[in-house]
Amino acid sequence: MAIERAAGVGTRIGRSDIGRLADCPHYITINRTFRLIHTCMAGGNVVTIICTVIHLMYMISCPDTAVRG
């Protein structure tokens, strides 16, 4: 992001050290929105994985759904 590049922060992946941008309300809004969306997407991924595992377990437990060769 151009704001982070200009302030010299945000160069490390997985870190949230905003340094001089802590007093910038525009950046704080953008950062908070990004983190909220990122968290929701991560939660959605976890739900998807859980649903996939449940579905696979259901398919394995039902003899009618087995592939016959």
Provide the domain limits for residue 45.
Answer: 25-62
pLDDT on residue 50: 98
Q: Answer yes or no: is 12 within a domain.
A: no
Residue 66 — very low, low, confident or very high, per pLDDT cuts 50/70/90? low
Positive or negative: CA dihedral 43, 44, 49, 55: positive
Dump pLDDT digits (tens) for 2-40: 777 777 776 667 666 777 888 889 988 988 999 999 999
Q: Answer yes or no: is 5 within a domain.
A: no
pLDDT on residue 1: 67
28 vs 47: which has the higher pLDDT: 47
Asked whether residue 69 carries a pLDDT value surpassing 70, the answer given is: no
Q: Answer yes or no: is 11 within a domain.
A: no
- How many domains would you assign to the chain? 1
